[in-house]
Structure 1
């Protein structure tokens, strides 16, 4: 299972204690901080991470740089919060590296080896990391040798390579299987691969609507995938096919999030919800005009919506925060191309 948010150890311990004691008291959560990840300009080596305090509305653009003395690298493609190992992994597509940080954004090490070429995403299972890697372009600017790299996190060394369909993107792990989305620019490649982690072999390939991107899991352990062409797909529990496909009337931003029984997504300047019990799609009534919609997330404690506007891809972008009820809470300038959010959640 992949994780986007940071939950303190105290919350996990308290939850286990209350469960063991049979105490029905619900633990009240609050978000203590929001990490905002920025791609930076292509080739400019200026990707960065800032932090936002939702209580006092203060944004600090320099947390990563203050901890580490510089920018994180070139083109921050994706991040993974691994609470089990107290780490954040930043996939640096332009730097051909993975930055390994503490939960406080202190860089400790990097995964870097010669074969790493345009990495896209990372998933972690125990002491193994799986990295989707585009590989080199040929003379026609087409990928020909994409792979999933398997890395031993004890040494950060490459131990296995799995050849896959070109353009591997988002990764997700469930039931000892690695789900790999594949999506190219014109939609001619649009599928997911299911890889058995025990033997590192591809078990199944499933055709998808065009543009499969973020992969998430609901509270009933169902896996959902958003497709930017305008569909949200639920996989079967065996991960052998599509259990349900919900087609929306417009294209969908490639980020979705789950909150209290519904999947939330952004489409055509509006936030929508998909009820995972009856598959009903409805508008939240929250309309958001952005120049270049680029990132979307839901605060797992408050239900607030966070959106990133990349503007012209060269200027510092904007972050917009809306309450769950639709009030515009804040708008502020962040870094170049805000691409992802994660939430530091603690107990009230």
Structure 2
């Protein structure tokens, strides 16, 4: 996964989107595939530059995991650095960032539907807008010139490019508006942009904290955002504490597009990441300091601090994070290194461990 500094890229430090979500839900249950209830896909990012990304699937009926699903079904490798996957209209859109493409498969038989590989220099996340249109966030060839690409789902082509900010990352749909976090990419940003899906134009820019990356919509129609903060390094790669800023959790009021007072993380260089929401829409779930934490959306954010974060469990090898909304269970992607297969661990929402399955290299999220 690329981050906002070269140093962080090589140590594989994961900033928040988140997401995961990278957990993403279907807009249409379809006929042969029931999202979450039948099972879910696991996106295995692979090792950067090695073109060994893969796709796994957990079948709940059998309790088994099928690995290398994409290559087995299509006869070709998935590519280099699978960043995310989203299910939309009975199709799975797998965003493969370093291969500059999106592979589209049928969720009914896993066959290849299309490959979108033009005008996508560094794609990150897919968001279905309606039956005929989707948005894809993209970092640009330089890793900083963020855009959102408009995709015609009837032809699987890019029809428009919208300038949005540096390192545009995760997106969420709220009515006819899309909120997109500008994570900074290889540089820096501190904004969430709002797009009108009727005109495909940016209509608002909201300042939050430094390098926002992941966001979710809660049951009150508020958007929550996490960010890594800004890490500035000295010539010897030590952290410049005077110029660096802390990570954060912030809330956006979507009625007036204003950012509420944010909760800052106490340590520089470490912020909440991979933000998700549980099945009720009341509990935020995220990675923080080597563990998985929760927080209530009903906290008094004006006086809240990190003490309001509830630590469910810790595992230094957690890389990806997801929530199975059909069971309200938490799925962690475990990556002990980026050479050997990883695993997923499944937990109850209270943090109780359920089971573990072997998957591919660098599991970074789930999709259903």
TM-score (norm 2): 0.77
**Greater RCO, 1 or 2 (C-alpha within 8 Å, sep 6+):** 2
Task: Flag structure 2 segments of 5+ consecutive residues without an equivalent.
Answer: 1-21, 230-246
**1:236 equivalent among 211, 234, 253:** 253
The answer as to 2:312 corresponding to 1:286 is: yes
Contact 2:319 2:334 in 1 (8 A): yes
> Is there any run of 5+ residues in structure 1 with no aligned partner, and where?
14-28, 344-348
Instruction: Select the residue among 289, 294, 317 that pairs with 1:268.
Output: 289
CA RMSD, aligned part only? 2.9
CA deviations on 1:191-249 (whole Å, 9 max, x unpaired) are 11112222232222112212312221122322222223442222112352213533444
Aligned partner of 2:154 in structure 1 is 154
Which among 35, 43, 58 is matched to residue 49 of structure 2?
Answer: 43
> How many residues are treated as equivalent by the alignment?
318
Structure with higher Rg: it is 1
Per the TM alignment, residue 283 of structure 1 is displaced from its structure 2 partner at its CA by 5.4
CA deviation string 1:5-51 (max 9, x = no partner): 3474579x9xxxxxxxxxxxxxxx97331211111222322211111
Report the TM-score when normalising by structure 1. Answer: 0.81
Q: Give per-residue Cα distances to partners, 1:145-193, cap 9 Å, x unaligned.
A: 4322212111122222222322111122222222221112677322111
Give the structure with the larger strand fraction. 1
The 1-side partners of 2:308 and 2:183 are apart by: 27
Is it true that 1:166 corresponds to 2:166 in the alignment?
A: yes
Could you say if the C-alpha distance between residues 277 and 154 of structure 1 is closer, same or farther in structure 2, counting changes exceeding 3 Å? same
Distance, in Å, in 1 between the alignment partners of 2:150 and 2:293 is 36
Q: For 2:141 and 2:37, how far apart are their aligned partners in 1?
A: 41
Equivalent in the alignment of 2:348? 323
In the alignment, the residues of structure 2 paired with residue 271 and residue 163 of structure 1 have an alpha-carbon distance, to the nearest angstrom, of 34
Map of 1:219 onto structure 2: 219
For residues 148 and 8 of structure 1, do their structure 2 counterparts lie closer, same or farther at Cα, with a shift above 3 Å needed? closer
Tell me how far apart the structure 1 counterparts of residues 196 and 316 of structure 2 sit (CA, whole Å): 40
Matches within 5 A, 1:58-137: 58-82=64-88, 85-104=89-108, 105-113=110-118, 115-126=119-130, 127-137=132-142
> Which residue of the other structure, out of 362, 365, 368, is the alignment partner of 1:337?
362
